[in-house]
Amino acid sequence: MHILMSHKKKVIFLLSLITILFCTFLLSNSKTDLSTDTEQFHARLLEKIEQADSFEDFTNALFCYEVTADSITTAYKLKNPSSYDIPSLPAVLSSFSYKDYEKSSHKKSDGKIFSLLSSTLKRFQSAELSSPEQLSFELLQNHLTLNQELSGYAYYEDLLGASTGVQANLPVTLGEYPLYTEDSVKTYLTLLKQIPDYFDNVISYQKHRNKIGFTTPDFLMEDTKAKMHTLIESLKEPDNCFAATFEERIASMDGLSAKKKAHYTSQNRLYIEKYILPAYESLYSYVDSLLDTSFKENSSLKKSAKEKQTDTSQNTDSSAICRPDQQTAYGLASLPDGAAYYSLLVKDSTGSDRSMEELIGMVDSSLKQTLGNVLNIALTDPNAYYYYCEHPIETYYQTPESILEALSLMIREDYPVLSTPPSYKIKTVPDSLAASLSPAFYMIPAIDDYQNNTIYINPLYTNEENGNLFTTLAHEGFPGHLYQTVYFNDTNPSPIRNILDYPGYVEGWATYVEMHSFSYLDYPLEGDSLCRLYQADTVINLALCSRIDMGVNYEGWTLADTRKFFEDNGFNSYYAEDVYSYVVEAPANYLSYFIGYLEIEDLKQCYKQQEMENYSEKEFHKKLLDIGPSDFTTLRKFLLVNP
């Protein structure tokens, strides 16, 4: 699980939060506010893409084009851009410009980039490509097709979610911005000055969403407002997250004098006060004005209703409008063509090419089967079941470091050993951000510095028994995200592979290994039964949330429908509102975890049937890891003899 939900989501870089239509290379065709130097560099790269004589030249130019979209992308992806023939470019926080977005959205994308990439790719279709190149070709072709379909859905993404919005993720993104040299410090400080303009673009985007009827529900805006208020108050303190993380990083820098460190520290604090705090206050005022307008409109409607005596029981208290109405559909399905957009979003988030009906069937079947397994254990091993009901998962390991060390040794029988043990840091989520972030998350390292890794732990979600921390760190660390990232980079993949995002594979793998990590725990009673019960608990949680996600965003479920779904499956509907609110805010996010997990399990069964008595769990894992992040159509093609 991962940073957004009650699970754990990896943080990559700021642009991953800007609408899917304009944060991938396939749609970075709008003219931005980049400097002339960057524009000229990109123009040369486009020429290289078009005139490439080899597939390697094509993908390398494409990689450089995408990775230089903005300074944050460059810094997070590359420690040494010059080794990729990327020059020093002016500091740019984001290539997202509302004016350009609006201009392009009216054209439904002018298709120039799509046309260029498609025609260039076709030139290599019949070329003699190596096996890794054939894999990259398949992935690029599928990626291009899907993103071209998504390009017709402007303004469907909300940029101000309480947990998923740009304002929530910016502190973590900038808090981990790599500072290697004095130039990187200067770039970072220049980026801070651009935050007000960046937030103004976000506000303009959100205003147009409201104008065309894509309004954000009040209950989500209220949550965003509350969490932003907490962050703003913390920014007024001297040890705020922007100050503390900067000073920690600059203190550890070599080659920078104490005088310069003090100067940059002072400048950073000044910029927090001059740029960051006012930008957040401006964004907060905008959200507050939306809620105020909505409250007045709702109060007026309710007053009118009272006057007509159609409903004298309505409460006009402002808190009443900040909760979902039981009978109103708020998901993507409530928008024009919202279900069609959601289907594409699910395909992008999961990497699965199955229809929505098939995916719903998969989730329903998994939920039914897992509930049946729990019932069977309750009947045949009641002692284990009673213990499970009364106790959380337990482990004797006391610290995150000891858990990760133990896991790195435990997995050796089932997973290939890394060529070099990676280094990693465990950091704690700042108190001001704890409510907005998930139990833990892994920061993707730079491609050319992938041996150095960071995992954040949110103390808000840990307990004294540390059992949940054990499985969480299996997901984030070994053999989850950290292990998978390091392993894949050890294979020396083409750079283009590192900018193609496959949440279904990445989160599916981490969820898959998390499920298997339950067997590494020591259980006080019947271990096998308890292991299966705790596994089932995780599966049921993900299945319920995933099914609700599809119900709300594809089938148009209301909160009342969601409560009924809980009750029909034998669960108290106490958490229905929380789950409903989350899937409205972050559609398809749960599915990247659960559908990804189900697809990997299905892939394993197919591989078992293919290998029969020669099947090896460790070999299956190796082959899956060797292929690396991909959509599942491509995975089947390259893993199975007869997919």
> C-alpha distances in angstroms, 253 versus 80, 174, 265, 322?
16, 17, 13, 46
Model pLDDT, residue 111: 64
Please give the residue that has the higher pLDDT: either 636 or 398.
636
Q: Is residue 479 reached through a cis peptide bond, with omega within 30 degrees of 0 on the bond before it?
A: yes
Q: Which token pair is 599? A: 């697809």
Model pLDDT, residue 322: 81
The model's pLDDT over 477-498, given as tens digits with 9 standing for 90+, comes to: 999 999 999 999 999 999 999 9
Strand-by-strand arrangement of the 440-443 sheet: 423-428, 452-457, 440-443
Please give the residue that has the higher pLDDT: either 281 or 95.
281
Bridge-partner residues for 261, per DSSP? none
The model's pLDDT over 351-382, given as tens digits with 9 standing for 90+, comes to: 999 999 999 999 999 999 999 999 999 999 99
Round to whole Å and give the CA distance between 484 and 508.
Answer: 11
- Whole-model pTM? 0.92
Round to whole Å and give the CA distance between 118 and 132.
Answer: 19
Please give the residue that has the higher pLDDT: either 25 or 328.
328
Model pLDDT, residue 465: 63
What average pLDDT score do residues 185-204 get? 97
> C-alpha distances in angstroms, 104 versus 155, 283, 379?
12, 25, 61
Question: In this model, does residue 314 exceed pLDDT 50?
Answer: no
Question: In this model, does residue 16 exceed pLDDT 60?
Answer: no
Question: In this model, does residue 415 exceed pLDDT 90?
Answer: yes
Question: In this model, does residue 190 exceed pLDDT 50?
Answer: yes
The model's pLDDT over 213-259, given as tens digits with 9 standing for 90+, comes to: 999 999 999 999 999 999 999 999 999 999 999 999 999 999 899 99
Residues 6 or more apart in contact with residue 242 via CB below 8 angstroms = 171, 174, 175, 235, 268, 272, 276
Question: In this model, does residue 24 exceed pLDDT 60?
Answer: no
Model pLDDT, residue 299: 64
Bridge-partner residues for 18, per DSSP? none
Average predicted confidence (pLDDT) for the chain = 88
pLDDT confidence of 438, banded at 50, 70, 90?
confident
Round to whole Å and give the CA distance between 338 and 438.
Answer: 27
pLDDT confidence of 305, banded at 50, 70, 90?
very low
Contacts 24+ apart (CB under 8 A), 258-261: 260/182
